Chain A
Amino acid sequence: MQGKSELMTYFAQQLKVDIGCTRADGLVSLQSTSCTGMCDQGPAGLVNGYALTRLTPSRIDQIVDYVNRDIPLTQWEADLFHVDDNIIKRDLLLNEKPLKGQAISATFARGLRETLAEIELSGLRGRGGAGYTTAWKWTFCSEENATQRYVVCNADEGEPGTFKDRVLLNSYAESVFEGMTIAAAIVGATHGFLYLRGEYLHLLDKLESILAARRAANLLGCNILQKGVDFDIEICLGAGAYICGEESALIESLEGKAGIPRNRPPYPVTQGYLAKPTVVNNVETYVAAANIAIHGGAWFAKLGTAKSKGTKILSISGDCTARGIYEYAFGTTVNTILADCGASDVLGVQVGGPSGVFIANDEFERKIAFEDLATGGSFIIFNNTRSILDIVHNFSHFFAHESCGFCTPCRVGTSLLKKQVDKIVEGHGSAGDIVALEELCQLIKNYSHCGLGQTAANPVLSTLERYPEIYQAMLKKISYEPGFDLDKSLETARRMANRNDAAAHLAQVEN
């Protein structure tokens, strides 16, 4: 959205390498990537796994020069790698900077059972998007008959357009770790994992040093604060697969296997990591839990709606003047948010990322809430210069690329969907193609193994419902249209036959 294709072309020209290839001298390869969680400071890239932000032609010139002179990454100008927090609107959670250990001390002072009761009272639901009640998840895990349990923080923030977990881990990591420690004390886990998306490699050293300092302060390790609780946290890096944001695929990945979602039941709370009861929560959920442990459930529940308590941290990107992190009480309308971030002439908003929903500009009185617009935090604004079909085209390619391939409907279906969208976008669609498109969407949605497949058709379904005329306008007015360019397909035959006369060409449609 921020001129990626022009910059890619420029990058390729300057590096003298084709996109998707490695240069002959082996020094550099250039590839395209999906969202790396830098939408508020894009266009962004990754070099040797480290994030590059705010790319411009002049910054690209600088990078090309470093590459050509074979300068090691450690000697590149630090500003190339500078990542901003861009926190624009703070509320309950972002206003709080608890003292180190404060949430854990408060938990021990109140009692574990009593703290769990406060978390239940707060109405806290999982912030990854699915919205399962946090206190119930912890309770079920603690009630399982097991000798070992695990606590996992899902920081595989891969949904395109979301980057709030990056900011929480950069500036609120103590609260994340306190939240995990409280969960561990309550469910009885001694070992925890932070599953960090590979694209956030730049945060790894900082997070490791925070963990080390917490161990030194007896906030992790054996007998935490002399209260008889043992718990430590290990950081595991993801390898770039979107599917590992799904909790059971994440657990498979933690176990060193390919990221493929498990059959459920059993759910992770009964059989998770190494088949032991495991709590998996989002980064923001742990931050909320830590603050609830300090301030109590009522403090949190005073904001929000009846079914969605507290606040939601949004990652706002796209066509607006102030991209960044915004924290809102649940129940806030899209109109309010659009006014705050300086969006005008808005075509629509993709709420919850590609797996969420695209809402049109006559729906902006709708609210951010589990019962209306549920979201893990991605909020991408499109103005009227954008094309609906370009957006859908991009998202359908994304899902086809990210399908793990385990089940038939998603493996084959997302690739068929990509082809069908391409066919329509490229102008080869005819009368039956919209019906075929919708039928395919329903099949993928209703039969896929996990949330990826079940939501992969959402970009098509939600735009088809709102803008059927845009799809219809792409169709040829004939009953049948080949799904490819007929004349272009004959090019090889013409070359081999050394012919290029009129009779060697075929019209797409017989006149």
Chain B
Amino acid sequence: MTKTFVIDGKTIPFEDGQTIMQAASAAGVYITHLCHNPQFTPHGSCKLCTVNVNGRNCSACTFPASEGQNVTNISKELNEDREKITQMLFVEGNHFCPSCEKTGNCQLQAVAYHLNMTDNHFPHFFENREVDASHPDVMIDHNRCIFCTLCVRASEQVDGKNVFAISGRGIDKRLVVNSPSGLLKDSALDVSDCAAHICPTGAILIKRTGYSVPIGQRIYDHAHIDAVALASEGEAHDH
């Protein structure tokens, strides 16, 4: 007999070893997330996938599914708090959607829309963050980095290169590049690497491809992030 647990009243089947996120995606239930991508080891840092499991808040992307769990994913409180966590990411960095090449393809922006975020709520940090445009084909705009570590994981787990890491502590945390100069041009990164294409925001962009898809025809211009995520990631979880 298949093991099951419950999310918002819906019975979800799961297999041993699956996380709540994996089982939910496979069953067509979207849980907001940014640092999670089913291709890679879960990280559990953005906390947007926080769900309530038997009365306790847990990260769905790392917490194992088990028989009889009663999970709350959609509630007014959880969604309002997820909105505030998203707002935290916006004020921490410098995100100007109208002038960002990633607009319409950006998961941070799409999650914000999904959570009905209409302002930044918290005071801005206005941190001075650098842009590294040294690489011939790829650029890093640190203003838009949310420390999801997807590029770190992709470089390590798919490209086998360890080009990226996160360095520093607390609010001074920064994405760093593994090269003698600290610049992307002196690293092993190639434009064809998975790490160059995995960024959920506009922090890592491919040069000379800007606006090749016009605004209005981009991923989240016509579809909500829940539908997009379930269509692509639900399959990935099944494998």
Instruction: Give chain A's interface residues, CB within 8 Å of chain B.
Output: 241, 263, 265, 400-409, 411-416, 419, 439-440, 443, 446-449, 483
Contacts and interface: CB of A to CB of B under 8 A. Distances in A.
Contact of A415 (B42, B147, B170): B170
Nearest to A241: B169
Contact of B92 (A400, A412, A449): A412
A409 B50 CA distance: 11
Interface stretch (B81-89, B130-138, B218-226): B81-89
Interface in B110-140: 122-123, 125
A449 B47 contact: yes
Contacts of A401: 170
A446 B75 CA distance: 15
Most buried by A among B84, B92, B170: B170
28 contacts: A263-B42, A263-B44, A263-B62, A401-B170, A402-B169, A402-B170, A403-B169, A405-B169, A407-B45, A407-B46, A407-B47, A408-B46, A408-B47, A408-B89, A409-B47, A409-B88, A411-B92, A411-B147, A412-B89, A412-B122, A415-B170, A415-B171, A416-B91, A443-B84, A446-B81, A447-B85, A449-B45, A449-B59
Contact of B170 (A411, A446, A449, A483): A411
A408 B45 CA distance: 7
Contacts of A403: 169-171
Interface string B70-81: 000000000001
A447 B89 CA distance: 14
A405 B147 contact: yes
Given A263-B44, A414-B170, A449-B44, A408 B85 contact: yes
B168 interface: yes
B172 interface: yes
Interface of B: 42, 44-48, 50, 57, 59, 62-64, 81, 84-85, 88-89, 91-92, 122-123, 125, 146-147, 168-173
Contact of B81 (A263, A443, A449): A443
A411 B81 CA distance: 16
A407 B122 CA distance: 17
The winner among A409, A411, A413, A448 for most chain B CB atoms within 10 A is: A411
B126 to A, nearest CB: 12
Contacts of B57: 446-447
Contacts of A408: 45-48, 85, 88-89, 146
Given A407-B44, A416-B123, 17 more contacts: A241-B169, A263-B59, A263-B62, A400-B170, A402-B169, A404-B170, A405-B173, A407-B46, A408-B46, A412-B91, A412-B92, A412-B171, A415-B171, A416-B122, A443-B84, A449-B47, A449-B59
B96 to A, nearest CB: 18
A65 B147 CA distance: 46
A449 B42 CA distance: 14
A263 B21 CA distance: 14
Contacts of B50: 447
Nearest to A403: B170
Contacts of A483: 123
A263 B47 CA distance: 12
B169 A416 contact: no
B162 to A, nearest CB: 14
A411 B91 contact: no
Nearest to B93: A412
Contacts of A405: 147, 168-173
B35 to A, nearest CB: 9
Contact of A416 (B42, B88, B172, B173): B88
Task: Give the most central of A241, A416, A449: most B CB within 10 Å.
Answer: A416
Given A405-B147, A443-B85, A447-B57, A411 B173 contact: yes
Nearest to B171: A415
Contacts of B92: 411-412
B123 A419 contact: yes
What are the 6 closest A-B residue pairs judged by CB atoms, nearest first?
A: A405-B173, A412-B88, A263-B62, A403-B170, A415-B171, A405-B170
Contacts of B45: 406-408, 449
A388 B91 CA distance: 29
A388 B173 CA distance: 31
Contacts of B147: 405, 411
A131 B50 CA distance: 26
B201 to A, nearest CB: 13
Contacts of B171: 400, 403, 405, 411-412, 414-415
Contact of B47 (A241, A265, A416, A447): A447
Contacts of A446: 57, 81
A263 B46 CA distance: 13
Contacts of A407: 44-47
Contacts of B123: 416, 419, 483
Contacts of A402: 169-170
- Best-surrounded residue of B63, B146, B169 (most CB of chain A within 10 A): B169
Nearest to A416: B122
B169 A404 contact: yes
B125 A415 contact: yes
B16 to A, nearest CB: 13
A402 B171 CA distance: 10
A401 B169 CA distance: 8
Residue from B42, B63, B122 having most chain A Cβ neighbours under 10 A: B122
B152 to A, nearest CB: 12
Nearest to B90: A412
A403 B85 CA distance: 16
A426 to B, nearest CB: 14
A445 to B, nearest CB: 10
A403 B81 CA distance: 20
A448 B85 CA distance: 11
A412 B145 CA distance: 13
Nearest to B125: A415
Contacts of B48: 408
A366 to B, nearest CB: 26
A404 B173 CA distance: 8
Contacts of B168: 405
Contacts of A411: 92, 147, 170-171, 173
A316 to B, nearest CB: 30
A107 B229 CA distance: 57
B161 to A, nearest CB: 19
A265 B17 CA distance: 12
Contacts of A406: 45
B137 to A, nearest CB: 30
A419 B48 CA distance: 23
